[in-house]
A and B are shown apart, each in its own frame.
Chain A
Amino acid sequence: MSCSGCLNLTRRQSLRRDFLRVGSLGLLGGINLPQLLRAADAQKPANSKAQSCILLWLEGGPSQMDTWDPKPSSGFKPISTNVPGIQISELLPKLSKRMDKLAIVRSMHTRGNDHPQGTHYAITGHEPNPAMHFPSLGAIISKESGPRNGIPANILVPQWERSRQYEEYFRAGFLGPDYDPMALPDPSQKNFEVADLTLPKSVSERVVHSRQDLLKIVDRRYRSMYEGAEHANMDGFTAQATKMLLNPAVRDAFDLGKEPEKVRDRYGRDTVGQSVLLARRLVEAGARFVTAAGFHSNSWDTHAKNDEGHRDRLCPPMDRTLSVLLDDLQERGLLASTVVLAMGEFGRTPFVNPDLGRDHWPTCWSLALGGGGIKGGQVIGSSDENGAYVTDRATSMGDIFATIYKAFGIDWTIEYDTAIGRPVKIANALDDNTGQPIQELL
């Protein structure tokens, strides 16, 4: 095999694709100077620093006015932060002292009015379509960045115990199982252990090797008789898995017991805290995208008693754990290379229902992000006096994705082709537009 041959082929293909892209744009008459400039800019995003991303998944949908976008309609007061001019809800006192590290987007405008649709939209940027398996943000970042240090690139912790349908949305869809998240059990449980990552006691390194020797003898006849792509695919994964299982560093990355008790306490001993701590540990070891989804059994879906829920059971763990994460990443010198994104699938209604709850509201909501070169201490966009509608800078999921891709140095204008040749944007904004990075954040 000559390597220059491969290179030539790849280059020829990419030239052909560029030609087609430019050609079709020209034919449609849709090409203009800003687009061309953007396309050139997109080829080599400047100052890309991010190596990893931690998504703190606020399952159920937090109330924007009781967190990042305080309003008179909230039952809680606004408080000042360490950034002059930015106020957030009094329910987030610890985060108010770290506002310089996080940017708030107060003008999220998305689709999907119930949890399945909203979750699918928030994590893939696309509305659900029964005929399609869209890749999630984590799968796309994993594909574009590739694994590091033998650690799986895409990880989800903890997995859903019942609503497995949600886990499906966090997968790689048509990109295939290579980029699916490795789903882990709840790390706050006493018997927490990652399946299939530890060789059974009876299987030493020597046994692994003698098994491989036996396997060679057993497979000799078959492999000489049959040829198949199946062998080659599985052989690659087997080699990778063997390396992982025999590398103590990989196993250690998943071992929360290696963290000092004091650190485990700081993050919080509940599922939220331990999931985020494990995410930090995995990112430090080389993971690209970790979804810390510790709110499964403590959901932000406050259809009843919204204020009590936010005050007593939801904001405190988020305030604590997200603050500790930002501090910890900074102390370890990882904040500059780790994007932190805290969001749910939508916001909540500006009015309170008869059960003193707030219902689903994708029309206008807030999220927070920082790290990985994203400049904190800023507010992007704004909502009206009730937090009901976007008044400035409507921001779609595709814009958030594009911002994160740019932080990673990934070309956000990429489209993937499905098996049948349907192009799918990796940063899909509303109305079939391509998402654009939020310039102030980078």
Chain B
Amino acid sequence: MGDTGFEYVLFDHPLDQPMGNGDVNGSLQMLHPRTKVPLKPTLLDGTVVESSGRENPRKALAEWMVKNPYFAEAAVNRLWSYFFGRGIVDPVDDFRSTNPPTHTELLARLAEEFRSHNHDLRHIIRTIVTSRTYQLSGRPNATNRGDHTNYSHAQPRALDAEVLLDAICDVTGVPEVFTTGVSDASKMNAQAPPGTRAIQLRQPDLFFSRFLELYGRPNRLTLPERNGKANLGQALHMLAGSAYQEKVSAPQGHLMQLLRSSKSNGEIIRDIYVTAFARVPEPSELEDLNRAVGVAENREQALGDLMWAILSSREFAENH
């Protein structure tokens, strides 16, 4: 694991820089941790990769992987699960005869599409998101209410950590600053460039973020790669944490700008709704919220509380 250096062969790394690990020298060679004898990259089937100078051994690994008869099915199934919240084979890493796909022909067809398009991820993503299935409404009707496996309607699911954090930054108007946690600020890359969004972090695990930690950040060393399940830490953070508190009341933030304008409560509520939900409030919602904010002693506090409620709502935090 980690500290032994065994995994470093799979890491993205600029070819002309040393790996920064005693067990790996500058020419991308792996040395045996104890004997320090150079090791040759070896594929899972035992084939030794004869590396030619500085060519990244990942290339040989990729070429070998796509030849595996299960690769295309496994890859498209995983992509499918990103968009629908469950795989055609589910859990996505459990392909076996006693856990069959829910839609055998669909999986085979997608896999074939993937193979015949040179394993082009974009092509599969485009195919999925332009499908009728993906575009179905999340509202169940009388006949499909009980269905959770046959894609009769979209299943609401929690936003991924990065997406939720970026959305909170958008609504509050306060961007997140990502640092690597290295206290020596003079070090290179101690901070991601200003304006970097959570979804743009190339190696998210290098950056310290309590929010991403709580909501499930991708983990590259083990499976499953992400666990975004609801937990107590998320709830505490929502009620008392900085992402929800400080961003809402930040002086340069969206809410304070609205308060400094001459807009009425109703206009401000409408404005926040459009930013957060991409819809205007319904008349009954506007009426109830306007009343609740109107009777409050402190207007700034009341509208801040409303923004908190919007960020904490399931409509905001779920993909639906």
Contacts and interface: CB of A to CB of B under 8 A. Distances in A.
B155 A228 contact: yes
A211 B156 contact: no
B314 A200 contact: no
A313 B236 CA distance: 38
A21 B156 CA distance: 38
A223 B235 CA distance: 18
B314 A234 contact: yes
A420 B91 contact: yes
Contact of A177 (B4, B140, B229, B317): B229
B141 to A, nearest CB: 11
B223 A130 contact: yes
Pick the most buried of B4, B223, B305: most chain A CB atoms within 10 A of its CB. Answer: B305
Interface string A80-116: 0000000000000000000000000000000000111
Given A116-B3, A227-B140, A176 B241 contact: no
Given A177-B229, A227-B140, A230-B157, A241 B235 contact: yes
Contact of B181 (A161, A178, A238): A161
Interface stretch (A214-222, A315-323, A347-355, A393-401): A214-222
Given A215-B312, A218-B315, A199 B240 contact: yes
B39 interface: no
A237 B1 contact: no
Contacts, number: 169
B282 interface: yes
Interface residues on A, range: 35 or more
Given A230-B156, A237-B234, A197 B240 contact: yes
Contact of B249 (A202, A207, A217, A242): A202
B313 A242 contact: no
B232 A203 contact: no
B308 A230 contact: no
B138 interface: yes
Interface of B: 1-4, 91, 93-94, 99, 138-140, 145, 155-158, 181, 205, 210, 219, 221-223, 227, 229-241, 245, 249, 282, 285, 288-289, 292, 296, 301-302, 305-306, 308-310, 312-315, 317-318, 320
22 contacts: A120-B1, A130-B223, A168-B219, A177-B233, A178-B231, A195-B237, A198-B240, A202-B301, A207-B305, A210-B292, A211-B305, A211-B309, A215-B312, A221-B285, A226-B140, A234-B158, A234-B230, A234-B235, A241-B232, A245-B239, A245-B240, A420-B91
Interface of A: 114-117, 120, 128, 130-133, 152, 161-165, 168, 176-178, 180, 182, 195-200, 202-203, 207-208, 210-211, 213-215, 217-223, 225-228, 230-231, 233-234, 237-238, 240-242, 244-245, 419-420
Given A217-B309, A227-B145, A242-B239, 17 more contacts: A116-B2, A130-B1, A131-B222, A165-B1, A177-B229, A197-B240, A198-B240, A211-B309, A218-B306, A223-B314, A226-B139, A226-B318, A228-B157, A231-B314, A234-B235, A241-B239, A419-B91
